[in-house]
Every structure is written in structure tokens, then in C-alpha cells.
């Protein structure tokens, strides 16, 4: 009971914090898109797509291992802190060494300075993972939320100031440095933990085994997510890459603001319930409903209003991002559907199976994007979308049944928001392209949101199962409010 109340408070706190972060990020996307050119975003994206792999390597999967294990000694936790710190320092040095090769890859000398600036981020982030794992294991979601919001606000403010001063792409580099430094300070405070020195003789084998497999999956995920940027930058150049990265940023917002923090809340709770089958299944079902309706439904709506939305928030020079965004958003729906299965893999320590699925699915995704890049950046987006569908199908039909998950129920629960969202997207897209051509952007957005609201209301009125889903989610909301 105490765990349920703590998890409920954590979920409520996380949702409130994500609301603040969402507003900040929307403001950042809109303002910086008007202050920095597509070429500026493309130059930054060329570097970020390659060297940001250091963010994944620097963690080595050890923070997830620390959260999942839940019973590490103080000495083991301190060892993990210093191991991550050492990895971060090493990787920062490697990034500095890569500055010249990266510039040669794209034939762009301006990338040397950007790469060297990003090395600071990797050094700082090496000290973060264990602090975050400590705060998460203690279910200190309030502290983590304050940390995330504070770092986000500070970094966005710094980027806007630099952009207004004419700094161009340097505003994006400064944004990442400030985000890392402020995030480290605030997360360390939230952890309420001070590491000791290295202690030899501690049993670290099981931690490294878990970390190795989950880390392999994270690396594969990183490669598949960033291969599109490398391909487009190499074949099409900075400006088309800038267009693509803005579309990708918009598509990622619902996943970042809902799916990522839900993982932070759901993983420690599911890990604690893995020996209690009925409670595990009940919690997983409620979590699936939340993520599929909020993220999946939200992405369908955003795809349906993409045209006027991009014109209003980004400006007319980003118009080419519309179709890319729509395709990526549809792929994001299947990514959202796959999150509950991902939580099951981690909560039940089945990281080897997760790695195998990721190896096959994400290799296929990269192959499809590689074919698509020779057509256009839109072809890359299509390859990414098809890869997300493949990953979801492999996970759902090949892996979940072996772990005792009720797959038919998951499919039924997921089909309702997907079918409703598909109808909304198709209706909005047809209305926009057949009836509203030439209308004012704000008028188009208003009409399309109205169409989405009407169709959503009709679905609620005529489908009893959707009403049950909403009642279930409202009960969760009431529980959060009263916790």
C-alpha cells in the first residue's frame, strides 16, 4: 500500500514537472527556430548525431542495473559512480580527438569547434548516472522533477540569450553545456547521497552482466535513431538535415515528456512487483493505457494538424518538415506501444532477450533508412517508421508471450487508441489538404483541432470499451490527486 501511494505521488509529481518542461521546450523550439537558420541546426545535428553516442556509452547501462537491482551495498554504488565518471572523462577526450575526423566526414571545418564544445557535456554527464539512480531508487521524484525543470529552464534561457546575440549554432552548444552542468548540480542534491572512494573486492559481476545487455540495446537504439541524421547530413547537406532535425524534435516531444518519465516511475515499481503476478499485470495494464492514449493519441493528433502547426510555431522556412513529421509521428505511435514491453524486459531482468530483439529490429531499421536516403529525407523517415513497426511486432509476438504477458489483452487495449487516432489523423489530413487550402494558418489549426475533438467525442460516445478505459485513467488520476 505504501509503495502504491509513493508511486502515485511520484507519477503525479512527474506529470506536473513534465507539464512545465513541455511548455519550456515548446517555447524553446518556437523561439530558436526563428532565431537560428536550418543550416545552423543542421551543423549542430551533424555533430550531435555522431558524438552524442558518448552519452549512451558513458552510462554503460549501469544506472538501469542499479535501479533494477535495488539492493546494492554503499560500496557497490560508490564503485558505479566512479566507473561512470571515469568513462565520461575518457569519452570526453575521445570526442575531442574526433573533432577533425568529424569535420572531414562532412567537409565542414565549422564542426571542429562544435565537437570540442560538446566534449564538455560528456565529461559532466559522466558524474550524473549514479546520482540519478540513487534518487530514482529512493523514489525521490519530487527532487528529480525539480532538477529536470531547473536545468531545462536554465539551458533554454542561455540558448536564447546567445541566439539573440547572433551566436547561431553556438546557442545550441551552450544549451547542452548548461543543461549538463545545472542538471548535475540539481541531481546530486536530489540524490541526498555522497559517494565514497573505490572499494576493491566488491561483487560487481551481476551488475555488469545486466548493464552489458541493456547497454547493448541502448547503443543499438542510439545508432538506429541517429543514423538518419548522419545519412541525410552526408548525402543531402546541412540545410535539409536542419529541416529533418526540427521535424524529429517535434515528434520526440510527446515521447520525451510522457514516455521517458513514465519509465522512470514504472520501472522501479514493476521491478518490486515482479514476483507478484496479479499486481504486476494490473500495474502494467494501467501503465499501457496511459501511454497509448496520451502518447499514441497525441502523436496522431499532432500529425493531423502538422501543416498549420509547423507554419505557426516554426515559421514558413520550415514548411518542408510537415511530411517528415507526419511519417515520424506514425512511427512514434508504434514506439509508444512498445514501451510497456520494454519495461517488462527490464523489470524481469530479461536484457539478453531485449538485446537480441534490438539487434535484429534496429539493424533492419538502419538498412531501410540507408535505402531511403537515396530517394529523399522523406525516404529516411519512411525507413524509420517501418523499423518502429517491425520492432513492435517482434517484441509483441515473439518475446512477450515467453515472459507470461497477456498479449491478446495488450493488443485489445492498444487497438482502441490506435484505431481512434488513425481515424482522427485521416480526417484531419483530408480536411486540411482538400478543404482548407489557402486558409489562414490559425484558422486551419482551429478547424482541425475541432475535427479531432468531434471525432474523439464520437468514439467515446459509441465505444463502451473506450469509456471504460477513460474511467480507468480517471481513477488513476483521482488516486494521484489524493495520494
Domain-wise residue ranges, the chain: 1-203, 248-483
Asked if 150 and 182 touch (Cβ cutoff 8 Å), the reply is yes
Contact predicate 58/218, CB 8 Å = no
CA atoms of 79 and 205, how far apart (whole Å): 12
Q: Which residues contact 42 (CB under 8 A, 6 or more apart)?
A: 233, 237, 238, 239, 240, 241, 242, 243, 245
Is the pLDDT at 292 greater than 60? The verdict is yes
DSSP 138: T
Distance between CA atoms of 171 and 217, rounded to whole angstroms? 31
CA 310 to each of CA 44, 82, 170, 451: distance values in angstroms, whole numbers, following the listed order:
21, 44, 24, 18
Task: Output 251 or 306, whichever has higher pLDDT.
Answer: 306
Q: What is the mean pLDDT of the chain?
A: 82
| Vertex 372: Cα angle to 370 and 376 (nearest 5) | 125
Assessment of whether the complete model's pTM goes beyond 0.85: no
Helix axes 297-304, 321-347, angle to 10 degrees: 170
pLDDT at residue number 345: 83
CB 14 within 8 A of CB 143: no
Are residues 52 and 226 in contact, defined by beta-carbon separation less than 8 angstroms? yes
Q: Is the pLDDT of residue 220 over 80?
A: no
* Range of weakest confidence among 97-111, 211-225, 244-258, 436-450: 211-225
Please give the full DSSP string across 106-135, using - where no structure is assigned. HT-TTHHHHHHHHHHHHHHHTTSHHHHHHH
Taking 80 as the threshold, does the pLDDT of residue 113 lie above it?
A: yes
Q: Which of 263, 258, 322, 268 is nearest to 296 (CA)?
A: 258
> Is the per-residue pLDDT at 5 higher than 70?
no
pLDDT > 80? residue 211: no
State the pLDDT at residue 283.
81
Q: What is the pLDDT of residue 223?
A: 67
Q: What pLDDT, on the 0 to 100 scale, is given for residue 1?
A: 47
Lowest mean pLDDT among 162-171, 215-224, 289-298: 215-224
For residue 293, the 8-state DSSP code is I
pLDDT at 112: 92
What percentage of the chain exceeds 70 in pLDDT? Answer: 84
Other C-beta atoms closer than 10 Å to the C-beta of 201 total 6
pLDDT at 407: 86
How buried is 118 (Cβ within 10 angstroms: 0-12 exposed, 13-18 middle, 19+ buried)? buried
* Cβ contact 117:179 at 8 Å: no
pLDDT for the residue numbered 483 = 44
> Which positions ≥6 away from 115 have C-beta within 8 Å?
47, 51, 95, 96, 98, 99, 102, 103
DSSP output for 299-356: HHHHHHTHHHHHHHHT-GGGTTHHHHHHHHHHHHHHHHHHHHHHHHHHHTT-HHHHHH
What confidence tens digit (pLDDT) does each residue in 126-153 have? 888 888 878 877 767 778 888 888 998 9
In this prediction, residue 212 carries a pLDDT of 53
Between 169-178, 287-296, 386-395, 458-467, the lowest mean confidence (pLDDT) is in 287-296
**Quick one: 483 exposed, middle or buried, by C-beta within 10 A (0-12, 13-18, 19+)?**
middle
pLDDT category at 444 given cuts 50, 70, 90 is very high
Count of residues for the chain?
Answer: 483
- Please report which confidence band the pLDDT of residue 199 belongs to, taking 50, 70 and 90 as the band edges: low
Work out the pLDDT band at 98, boundaries 50, 70, 90: confident
For residues 414 and 337, is the Cβ–Cβ distance under 8 A? yes
- Using 50, 70 and 90 to split pLDDT, how confident is the model at 274? confident
Per residue in 25-55, pLDDT (tens digit) is 788 888 888 889 888 989 998 888 776 665 5
Mean pLDDT in residue range 167-187: 92
Contact residues for 230 (Cβ-Cβ < 8 A; gap 6+):
46, 49, 50
Is the confidence at residue 250, as pLDDT, over 90? no
Amino acid at each position: 500500500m505504501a509503495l502504491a501511494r509513493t508511486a502515485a505521488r511520484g507519477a503525479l509529481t512527474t506529470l506536473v514537472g513534465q507539464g512545465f518542461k513541455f511548455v519550456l521546450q515548446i517555447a524553446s523550439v518556437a523561439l530558436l527556430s526563428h532565431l537560428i537558420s536550418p543550416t545552423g541546426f543542421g551543423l549542430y545535428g551533424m555533430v550531435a548525431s555522431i558524438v552524442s553516442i558518448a552519452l549512451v556509452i558513458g552510462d554503460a547501462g549501469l544506472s538501469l542495473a542499479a535501479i533494477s537491482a535495488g539492493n546494492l551495498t554503499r560500496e557497490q554504488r560508490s564503485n558505479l559512480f566512479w566507473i561512470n565518471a571515469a568513462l565520461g572523462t575518457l569519452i570526453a577526450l575521445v570526442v575531442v580527438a574526433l573533432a577533425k575526423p568529424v569535420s572531414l566526414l562532412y567537409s565542414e571545418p565549422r564542426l571542429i569547434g562544435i565537437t570540442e564544445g560538446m566534449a564538455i557535456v560528456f565529461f559532466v554527464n559522466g558524474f550524473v548516472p549514479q546520482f540519478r539512480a540513487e534518487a530514482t531508487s529512493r523514489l525521490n521524484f519530487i527532487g528529480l522533477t525539480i532538477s529536470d525543470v531547473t536545468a531545462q529552464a536554465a539551458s533554454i534561457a542561455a540558448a536564447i540569450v546567445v541566439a539573440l546575440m547572433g551566436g547561431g549554432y553556438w546557442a545550441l552548444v551552450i544549451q547542452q553545456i548548461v543543461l549538463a552542468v545545472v542538471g548535475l548540480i540539481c541531481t546530486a542534491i536530489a540524490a541526498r547521497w555522497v559517494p565514497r572512494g573505490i572499494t576493491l573486492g566488491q561483487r560487481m559481476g551481476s551488475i555488469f552482466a545486466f548493464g552489458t545487455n541493456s547497454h547493448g540495446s541502448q547503443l543499438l537504439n542510439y545508432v538506429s535513431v541517429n543514423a538518419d541524421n548522419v545519412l541525410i547530413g552526408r548525402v543531402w547537406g546541412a540545410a535539409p538535415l536542419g529541416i529533418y532535425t526540427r521535424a524529429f524534435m517535434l515528434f520526440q516531444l510527446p515521447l520525451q515528456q510522457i514516455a521517458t518519465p513514465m519509465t522512470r516511475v514504472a520501472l522501479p515499481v514493476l521491478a518490486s512487483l515482479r514476483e507478484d503476478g496479479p499486481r504486476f499485470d494490473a500495474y502494467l495494464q494501467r501503465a499501457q493505457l496511459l501511454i497509448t492514449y496520451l502518447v499514441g493519441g497525441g502523436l496522431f493528433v499532432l500529425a493531423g494538424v502538422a501543416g498549420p502547426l509547423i507554419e505557426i510555431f516554426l515559421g514558413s522556412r520550415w514548411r518542408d518538415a510537415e511530411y517528415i513529421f507526419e511519417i515520424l509521428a506514425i512511427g512514434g505511435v508504434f514506439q509508444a506501444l512498445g514501451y510497456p514491453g520494454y519495461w517488462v524486459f527490464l523489470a524481469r531482468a530479461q536484457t539478453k532477450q531485449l538485446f537480441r530483439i534490438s539487434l535484429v529490429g534496429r539493424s533492419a531499421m538502419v538498412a531501410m533508412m540507408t535505402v531511403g536516403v537515396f530517394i529523399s529525407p522523406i525516404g529516411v523517415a519512411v525507413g524509420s517508421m517501418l523499423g518502429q513497426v517491425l520492432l513492435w511486432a517482434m517484441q509483441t509476438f515473439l518475446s512477450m508471450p515467453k515472459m507470461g504477458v497477456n498479449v491478446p489483452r495488450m493488443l485489445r487495449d492498444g487497438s482502441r487508441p490506435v484505431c481512434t487516432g488513425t481515424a482522427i489523423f485521416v480526417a484531419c489530413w483530408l480536411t486540411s489538404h482538400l478543404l482548407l487550402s489557402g486558409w489562414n494558418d490559425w484558422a486551419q489549426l482551429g478547424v482541425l483541432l475541432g475535427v479531432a475533438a468531434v471525432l474523439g467525442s464520437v468514439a467515446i460516445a459509441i465505444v463502451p470499451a473506450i469509456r471504460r478505459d477513460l474511467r480507468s485513467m480517471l481513477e488513476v488520476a483521482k488516486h494521484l490527486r489524493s495520494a
